[in-house]
Chains A and B, each alone.
Chain A
């Protein structure tokens, strides 16, 4: 309990640092949204009107005033109005994009985790065997493979060479997504390649992580004791070794789940997927402060929450933490 309270304190402090950064970073970038709009209208806007625009976007006043306003708005979950997609509220855009990203990257991470962990258990248990000696080096290579190339090649092979999958987007243009079978099928069909492109570069590190942790555990005394007690291999593998080896993997899983909201920039760019990555890039290009801030805030919160969940999981799964109450 003390352990969790200490962590909660840390997460709050980290949250404050993060949202302050989220506020400062976009403002430190050269150019602001209003000058972009001013430039894009090519002189149709008088300088006085620019001031009005600044005021409307809450960009007037000192940096401290703006910061306090920002904190106050944040407290009310008010993310402001997008300066690019005016007058659309930023929150609407954000949740639209977040929905697609959550689906795309969520499925991809779940798949790579499951595949990687199972492969890791198998190859650690049959160390030096055929499977281990073939897949471990392959995964080393996949680990080093650039996501960009994997995505491009998949895209080229399956949409250009063999026109099996659609060229991009999350669903057909004339389809209005809804909770029905036809719609779900269409969306799933569009997601196959982007998901595959993320899974291919990711499952290797789960495999390697699980394999190495398991190998280290196999030589521990408690495993030797379990063998001496004559427990079945299956039980030793699943209940003794795998269960312990999965702890550090869960911590990293929590982290990557947090990163879901970072968006899969490369997959989204290559497959023209309407997720957070694509929206963020557009927002950065057009200096849409409100969207960048909102996106970074969403991301920070999700990473922190994911970390908190992993802490709780660890406390539940690892009795030592419960008893010690410290780090």
Chain B
């Protein structure tokens, strides 16, 4: 945790993410207007009355942005958490128990990895006409747990052969206890990494699904905001404020999560971190008229 907090990229990502989470959590208090109702004339420019202007239907963009963040982040986290839990369960069981269990589980992991996700999601999402954001999140989780499961399985197999697990086994500890107390804590960075990636995937895929009109158009999310902006031909009529806020919000959230993932990566594989320090040493030596090619 401490190394995590000294990593600049990770901290920057965490700060951006925290701002978004707090803003959307406080949406009902912060939002100046009802995001679902007409609050002014259509396509009012950003100004005193409407901080980020209004949509074609006269809804307040800023209020929608806050409310949309609530749903979009929730969907992203639902997708991230569920995919991580499924992947973790399958990965640990396959890696720890091995044998037949491993074979069967690995088969399913490979099928999930090989099956094309996006069209499957689209068909799944259109199961329910006008799928709610929660359902979209769960659908995304069902198709998105493969990579986590694979990484966790490999990692479990590596940890399983270490002395402390063997010691616990010889002491006659119960299997689930070994999994929870000995193996799980040693995989936290992989779990966090998998969770972060699954969440990015969730947020981006949700926006894409809503954008092509497969979500529920009556809900307010960053994806539906883009959908309506395109439907209202916002760019053609010069209403850039209808497109940019959700776009920038999605981008910043995505970038924040990518930064966190970078931090996690640098902690798990120190070579990537050495890159930065290596660059510094190189520059330092260069200034003294020496060039090195060690790093």
- A: which residues have CB within 8 A of B? 10-11, 13-14, 17-18, 21, 25-26, 28-30, 127-129, 140-141, 143-149, 152-153, 156, 160, 212, 215-216, 218-219, 227, 233, 258-259, 261-263, 265-266, 269-270, 280-281, 284, 292, 295-296, 299-300, 303-304, 307
With A152-B235, A216-B269 as given contacts, are A266 and B211 in contact (CB-CB < 8 Å)? yes
Alpha-carbon distance A304/B113, docked complex (angstroms): 11
B122, A219: Cβ atoms under 8 Å?
A: no
Q: Which residues of B contact A127 (CB under 8 A)?
A: 275, 278-279, 295
Q: Which residues of B contact A160 (CB under 8 A)?
A: 235-236
Is B282 located at the chain interface by the 8 A CB criterion?
A: yes
Q: Which residues of A contact B120 (CB under 8 A)?
A: 21, 25, 296
Is B280 located at the chain interface by the 8 A CB criterion?
A: yes
B116, A258: Cβ atoms under 8 Å?
A: yes
Closest to A295 in B: B119
B226, A148: Cβ atoms under 8 Å?
A: yes
A128, B280: Cβ atoms under 8 Å?
A: yes
A156, B272: Cβ atoms under 8 Å?
A: no
Alpha-carbon distance A140/B255, docked complex (angstroms): 6
Cβ-neighbour of B226 out of A128, A146, A212, A296 (below 8 A): A146
The residue among A144, A218, A219, A304 with the most chain B CB atoms within 10 A of its own CB is A144
Within the complex, the shortest CB–CB distance from B161 to chain A, in Å, comes to 17
A262, B226: Cβ atoms under 8 Å?
A: no
Q: Which residues of B contact A266 (CB under 8 A)?
A: 208, 211-212
Q: Which residues of A contact B236 (CB under 8 A)?
A: 156, 160
B265, A212: Cβ atoms under 8 Å?
A: yes
Is B48 located at the chain interface by the 8 A CB criterion?
A: no
Alpha-carbon distance A227/B293, docked complex (angstroms): 10
Q: Which one of B25-33, B59-67, B187-195, B246-254 is at the A interface?
A: B246-254
Contact with A along B265-295 (1 / 0, CB 8 A): 1000101101110111011000000000101
CB under 8 Å from chain A, chain B span 49-86: none
A141, B116: Cβ atoms under 8 Å?
A: no
Q: Which residues of A contact B272 (CB under 8 A)?
A: 212, 215-216
Within the complex, the shortest CB–CB distance from B265 to chain A, in Å, comes to 7
Q: Which residues of B contact A307 (CB under 8 A)?
A: 114
Interface residues of B, CB < 8 Å — how many? 54
Alpha-carbon distance A141/B258, docked complex (angstroms): 8
Is B124 located at the chain interface by the 8 A CB criterion?
A: yes
Q: Which residues of B contact A227 (CB under 8 A)?
A: 293
B251, A144: Cβ atoms under 8 Å?
A: yes
Q: Which residues of B contact A129 (CB under 8 A)?
A: 279
A269, B212: Cβ atoms under 8 Å?
A: yes
Contacts beyond the supplied A30-B129, A127-B279, A146-B247: 4 A-B pairs with Cβ under 8 Å: A145-B251, A148-B247, A227-B293, A300-B116
A14, B111: Cβ atoms under 8 Å?
A: yes
- B: which residues have CB within 8 A of A? 107, 110-111, 114-116, 118-120, 122-124, 126-129, 200, 204, 207-208, 211-214, 226, 230, 235-236, 243, 247, 250-255, 257-259, 262, 265, 269, 271-272, 274-276, 278-280, 282-283, 293, 295
Alpha-carbon distance A11/B115, docked complex (angstroms): 11
Q: Which residues of A contact B115 (CB under 8 A)?
A: 14, 17-18, 21, 300, 303
A143, B114: Cβ atoms under 8 Å?
A: no
Alpha-carbon distance A284/B226, docked complex (angstroms): 21
Alpha-carbon distance A261/B115, docked complex (angstroms): 12
With A29-B123, A146-B226, A284-B123 as given contacts, are A216 and B271 in contact (CB-CB < 8 Å)? yes
Closest to B118 in A: A262
Alpha-carbon distance A35/B239, docked complex (angstroms): 41
Q: Which residues of B contact A219 (CB under 8 A)?
A: 271, 274
Alpha-carbon distance A247/B293, docked complex (angstroms): 25
Q: Which residues of B contact A153 (CB under 8 A)?
A: 235
A143, B211: Cβ atoms under 8 Å?
A: no
Cβ-neighbour of B275 out of A11, A29, A215, A300 (below 8 A): A215
Alpha-carbon distance A143/B197, docked complex (angstroms): 12
Alpha-carbon distance A168/B6, docked complex (angstroms): 49
Cβ-neighbour of B123 out of A11, A128, A218, A296 (below 8 A): A296
Contact sample, A vs B, 30 pairs, CB 8 Å cutoff: A10-B110, A11-B114, A14-B111, A18-B114, A29-B127, A128-B278, A140-B255, A140-B259, A143-B254, A144-B252, A144-B255, A144-B257, A146-B208, A146-B251, A146-B254, A149-B251, A160-B236, A215-B272, A218-B295, A219-B274, A227-B293, A259-B118, A262-B116, A265-B212, A269-B211, A284-B126, A296-B116, A296-B119, A299-B116, A300-B116
Closest to A136 in B: B262
Alpha-carbon distance A61/B152, docked complex (angstroms): 45
Q: Which 9 A-B pairs have the closest CB atoms?
A: A128-B279, A144-B254, A149-B247, A156-B235, A148-B211, A144-B255, A25-B123, A299-B116, A146-B250
